[in-house]
Structure 1
Amino acid sequence: MSGGTGSTSAEAPIPAFGEVLGHPRPLWMLFMTEFWERFAFYGIRWALVLYIVAQFHAGSPTGEEPASQLYGAYLALVYAAAIFGGYVADKILGYQRSILLGAVIMACGLFMIAVPDPRIFEFGLATVIVGNGLFKPNISAMVGKLYAQSDGRRDSGFTIFYMGINAGAFLAPVLTGWLAEQVFGTAAMPAYKYVFIASGLGMLVSLVWFWFGRRQLQGIGAPVVGLEGVQTVAYVAVGCLVAIPVMWVLLAQLGATTLQYVLTAMFVGLCALLLAEGVRNGPVARDKAIAMLIIFAFNVMFWMFFEQAGSSFTFLADKIVDRQFGDWTFPVAWFQSVNSIAIIGLAPVVAWVWVKLGEWNPSIPRKFGLGLVFNGLAFLLLMFALSSLVDAAGKIPFWTLFMVYVIQSVGELCLSPIGLSMVTKLAPVRLVGFGMGGWFLSTGIGNNLSGIFAGYVSGETGMTTASALGGYTFGFWALVISGVILLAVSPVLNRLMHGVK
């Protein structure tokens, strides 16, 4: 049983939980808590870059590059903050109270970005970043704490949890897009404020759900021994208030390139700490840590291109994709739900394929390699559409972008849910939360690079068919080459993992 350092509750035997559908009862409570948090997170995803261009750049296409870079930096810091959130839960606050405090802070930030002032908007994003850093890595780590390392249901439990993520991500763009374009605004002039308000309300639902449901955990994730007092929460809350302006500087003042240097330095430091802990625990733990860190590096490449969904793909959908079906126009926001529909529909199919393959079931590194290759195939489809399917109006067919999201989803299913489980198996036993923070930091680095890349795709004057074709051609080659390399070195990584499946 992996646990946080210093917490006797984390090191104690797993309670005899009642079961629902063959899994511990608390899994379903965590499922719904994450459902509403992801509703809040993805509710604003489709709107951010469009809102930044419309509100703070007067709708000018020249605003696309800075909007993409701000969006990429925001996502990067959301995930990078997880490294600190994991540490706080491991060492100070415990998982349960970290999740609760993070939910409160996130809700405040989501309501702040509804204010149409650039400085308040930036500070609101910084507040969301700090709150999500406390929430996201720790609720994922809690899922792992419901199962013994040898429990065969462990990967299945993470897959169910991942379905909760995608159910919330599916509903959010549909509902918030409808509120913005049908209820409070129009397709030509969406009322983005209500997107952000609805997301804030979703975060409050997540908070309330976990507050009442945490009794089911029977001490799993309880406060660290010796730090159970309310004053510990107060100290961490003050630290979060100090962290918000720091995040604002990183987000809004440094620029994406400088931020990349900061994130890279953090990643190198994290790798050193995890590797040192692995070395202290012996050669097997050391080898597992090395394998995990190598996979983290390939994870960066995957998310650099996958996360075009909230930036360059949004501008592509708005400007270059033919969304007309007679008198009805397919909303840009709804493209964000395609990935979630595909995940929900294809997850059982992919899981069935892994089972049917039996002894030929690919190892974790090979699945990651396949994830990169499938992501690359999505960009190959865009290359074909932008070079051969552009109509007289300069538009590409609707189905092409729709299928890009579906193909990327297959790649995501090969990689992302397995990644969460992998960390709980390979991270040094005393730093699982910290290791989960490392997973999200590598994702964050990829996201910051995604904003830089999306800015390149749009260029200084806004996205064109030619600029999109050039950028996405580069994306195809970068992904496929990375995937082939990872598939080639998989036997070495498998040996380093010492039987972890």
Structure 2
Amino acid sequence: MLTFHQVKKQKDAIFALHQNSNQIMSSNRDTAFFGHPAGLSTLFATEFWERFSYYGMRGFFVLFLTAELASGGFGLDRTAAYSIYGLFTSLVYLTPIAGGIIADKIWGQRFSIYVGALMMAFGQFAMAFGSYYGKVTHTGELHHIQQFFLFSGLGLLILGNGFFKPVISTMVGGLYQKGDNERDNGFTIFYMGINLGALVTNFIGGTLAEKIGWHWGFVAAGTGMIASIIWLFLKETTIEQRVTGYSIGLRPKDDGNIKKRLSKADWGKVVINALAISGGILAIVFGILSVPKIVTDIIAIGAAIGGFGYLGYTIFTNTNGKTEWSRVGVIVVLAFFNIAFWSGFEQAGTSFNTFAKDMTDRVVFGWEIPASWFQSVNALFIVILAPIFTIVWDKLSAKKLNPRTPNKFGFSLVFLSIGFLIIGIANDKAATGLVSPLWLVFVYLLHTMGELCMSPVGLSMITKLSPPKITSVMMGTWFASIALGNYLAAAMTAICLWLGLPTFYFIAIYSIILAGVAFLIAPKLNKMMKGIH
């Protein structure tokens, strides 16, 4: 029988062995990019250029849709423009469900990124052509060729994003070993890449679109997408885990293979798939514009039912045990708060955009600031505040005071509510004259703080809580909740008009109520996460 001192000696030896093991792992850990894996810099820049493309187009899209036909615009009223914008931004976040399934089961993440990126470049250039055609052949009516290229371009962006968006976020999570506490900070850095792209693009694409011609804005966005493809191709070999030698993002059958790049044959398949799917989109859009609306509605409803049915089946068959189901339950509950947040936050592209254009004094030294520039304010605050939030979370973690994910979601809704209370007051003041742009800037500051409590935290949560076999699918599901939030954001004006309520104050009220609910159920959700922080 061991004595007390012998038992203590054995425990000390085991503890020392554990410490040495951690030190070895720490020394082998890839810290080439500011203490993070080198692959993070590659994915950071790839996402930078993709977001340069997306947010560049998004920043002036509603303005383009409501612009006069003679300028190459679409000549719509606000309600119709908001409707198209809302449908587009919701579908952009919905298609990642299918894209995640294809990436997980067939293509692999890297192959999917290339296909999606090519399709999005085609989409931006298609809309550029449609706008240019409308400007040079203006007859006083919307031409069917303008409609064809606008909706074809949107279709290519929607589906291409479905292949691109969920897998690149999943690859960021794949750069880190299981249990690595730096994963959350890695996602915050990655989120800065998103917002640096969004910051720069409106000064370039927005200015070209509003001051020179709408088609030049789309050309700038398409060029950004091409840059994203080129950058990933040049830096592809960095995307690996240095500790294990495992190169992430390959097809399922290549798991464990230290293959650094896609082969020439793979690249041929990328181009063929992108062209084939793009051709299919063009054919579908032509068909939609040629058949009765009731037919397209039936097809859309059927596709939605089938898609969500398959999603449910995939999650059900790949989730095992009480722990995995408990964690999936947390994802589902938090998705509802995610919907509420984005239903308010995405007013940036609709009502905030027109507020900047029509109710804000934008003249400085005799020069009128393009309304689309205000779309960069949120991105600027992200770039400034993201490092600060990272430091704050680290300091709180060291003191074991870092709020758990459900609590951070509650804080995000509080910031959202205060922001809408302020913009509501500014809107009331605008009834008697143009208001200072500082009102809108302060609202963007508050909403950015809410976003930093919600978005990067949510992305990191998905990679930690999802069942291993369907991480990309669950990432797609998370983006689907953002899709619904985007759709509700565009419909909010019509909803509030029907209810007889002021839009900004209505959003402020339901946001603060849901924040209270989030804080109330946070302890239960924390237990359901089963040790995941």
* Fold shared, TM-score > 0.5 on shorter chain: yes
Q: Counterpart of 1:383?
A: 424
Q: How does 1:357-396 map to 2 (within 5 A)?
A: 357=396, 358-387=399-428, 389-390=429-430, 392-393=432-433, 395-396=434-435
Q: Structure 1 residue 41 and structure 2 residue 54: aligned?
A: yes
Comparing 55-64 with 372-381, greater Cα deviation is found at 55-64
Render the CA deviation track for 1:168-226: whole Å, top value 9, x for unaligned. Answer: 000000111232345xx2xxxxx111100001001000011111211222431112328
Q: How does 1:35-434 map to 2 (within 5 A)?
A: 35-55=48-68, 63-114=77-128, 115-116=130-131, 117-182=146-211, 185=212, 191-218=213-240, 219-225=247-253, 230=266, 233=270, 234=272, 238-239=276-277, 241-242=279-280, 265=305, 269=309, 272-273=312-313, 275-277=315-317, 280-357=319-396, 358-387=399-428, 389-390=429-430, 392-393=432-433, 395-434=434-473
Render the CA deviation track for 1:361-395: whole Å, top value 9, x for unaligned. Answer: 211011011111111111000122223x33743x2
State TM-score, norm by structure 1.
0.86
Render the CA deviation track for 1:249-301: whole Å, top value 9, x for unaligned. Answer: 899968999999789857854773465246x4210011000001111121111
Partner amino acid, structure 2, of 1:92: I
C-alpha spacing 1:48/1:62, structure 2 compared with 1 (3 Å): closer
Q: State the SS of the aligned residue for 2:77.
A: helix
Q: State the alpha-carbon separation in 2 of the partners of residues 299 and 383 from structure 1.
A: 22
Render the CA deviation track for 1:62-111: whole Å, top value 9, x for unaligned. Answer: 61101011001101111101111111110010111100111111100000
Q: State the alpha-carbon separation in 1 of the partners of residues 530 and 403 from structure 2.
A: 15
The answer on whether the counterparts of 2:206 and 2:370 sit within 8 Å (CA) in structure 1 is yes
The answer on whether the counterparts of 2:148 and 2:285 sit within 8 Å (CA) in structure 1 is no
Render the CA deviation track for 1:148-180: whole Å, top value 9, x for unaligned. Answer: 121111111111100000000000001112323
C-alpha spacing 1:221/1:248, structure 2 compared with 1 (3 Å): farther
C-alpha spacing 1:248/1:449, structure 2 compared with 1 (3 Å): farther
Q: Counterpart of 2:43?
A: 30
Q: State the alpha-carbon separation in 1 of the partners of residues 254 and 55 from structure 2.
A: 37
Once the 2 structures are TM-superposed, how far is the Cα of residue 404 of structure 1 from its aligned partner? Answer: 1.0
Partner amino acid, structure 1, of 2:280: V
C-alpha spacing 1:79/1:410, structure 2 compared with 1 (3 Å): same
Q: State the alpha-carbon separation in 1 of the partners of residues 283 and 488 from structure 2.
A: 23
Q: Structure 1 residue 486 and structure 2 residue 518: aligned?
A: yes
Q: State the SS of the aligned residue for 2:59.
A: coil
Q: State the alpha-carbon separation in 2 of the partners of residues 262 and 374 from structure 1.
A: 38
Q: State the alpha-carbon separation in 1 of the partners of residues 442 and 77 from structure 2.
A: 28
Question: Pick from 479, 492, 495: which aligns with 2:527?
Answer: 495
Render the CA deviation track for 1:411-435: whole Å, top value 9, x for unaligned. Answer: 0000000011000011111000101
How many residue pairs get aligned? The number is 469
Q: Counterpart of 1:11?
A: none
Comparing 336-345 with 480-489, greater Cα deviation is found at 480-489
Q: State the alpha-carbon separation in 2 of the partners of residues 409 and 335 from structure 1.
A: 13
C-alpha spacing 1:360/1:270, structure 2 compared with 1 (3 Å): farther
Root mean square deviation of aligned Cα: 3.1
Instruction: State the structure with bigger RCO (CA 8 A, min sep 6), 1 or 2.
Output: 1
Q: State the SS of the aligned residue for 2:58.
A: coil
Q: State the alpha-carbon separation in 1 of the partners of residues 298 and 438 from structure 2.
A: 38
Q: State the alpha-carbon separation in 1 of the partners of residues 441 and 457 from structure 2.
A: 25
Structure 2: gaps of 5 or more residues = 1-27, 132-145, 241-246, 256-262
C-alpha spacing 1:264/1:244, structure 2 compared with 1 (3 Å): same
Once the 2 structures are TM-superposed, how far is the Cα of residue 484 of structure 1 from its aligned partner? Answer: 1.2
The answer on whether the counterparts of 2:82 and 2:490 sit within 8 Å (CA) in structure 1 is yes
Once the 2 structures are TM-superposed, how far is the Cα of residue 330 of structure 1 from its aligned partner? Answer: 2.6
Structure 1: gaps of 5 or more residues = 1-14, 186-190, 461-466
Identity %: 36
Render the CA deviation track for 1:426-460: whole Å, top value 9, x for unaligned. Answer: 11110001011011111011111111114557x79
Q: State the SS of the aligned residue for 1:211.
A: helix
Q: State the SS of the aligned residue for 2:181.
A: coil
Q: State the alpha-carbon separation in 2 of the partners of residues 374 and 147 from structure 1.
A: 31
Q: State the alpha-carbon separation in 1 of the partners of residues 462 and 279 from structure 2.
A: 29
The answer on whether the counterparts of 2:103 and 2:472 sit within 8 Å (CA) in structure 1 is yes
Q: Which has the higher Rg, Structure 1 or Structure 2?
A: 2
Once the 2 structures are TM-superposed, how far is the Cα of residue 356 of structure 1 from its aligned partner? Answer: 3.0
Q: State the alpha-carbon separation in 1 of the partners of residues 77 and 31 from structure 2.
A: 53
